[in-house]
Amino acid sequence: MALNPCLYRQERPLPGAHEVEIVCLAGGNHRLGIKGRDPAYLEKACGDCPVPDALADEDRTCLYLLPLRIFGDSGIETLYHCRWLYKLNPKRVNRLLSLHFPRSCEWWFPHPIKFLPPGTEWHTLRAWGLYLGTIEGPEPLWRWSAPDFPEYPSGWRRL
Q: Which residues contact ligand SF4 (rule: CB under 6 A)?
A: 6, 8-9, 24, 26-27, 45-46, 49, 51-52, 69
Pairing of the two strands 30-34 and 65-72? unpaired
Nearer to ligand SF4, 49 or 66 (CB): 49
Nearer to ligand SF4, 10 or 143 (CB): 10
- What is the SS3 assignment for 3? coil
Distance CA 5, CA 101 (A): 22
Burial 137-148 (b: 16+ CB within 10 A, else e): eebeeeeeebee
Compute the least distance from the CB of residue 136 to ligand SF4, in Å: 25
Compute the least distance from the CB of residue 5 to ligand SF4, in Å: 9
Per-residue DSSP letter, 89: -
Compute the least distance from the CB of residue 51 to ligand SF4, in Å: 4
Nearer to ligand SF4, 9 or 88 (CB): 9
Distance CA 70, CA 28 (A): 8
Compute the least distance from the CB of residue 126 to ligand SF4, in Å: 17
Distance CA 91, CA 95 (A): 12
Nearer to ligand SF4, 1 or 159 (CB): 1
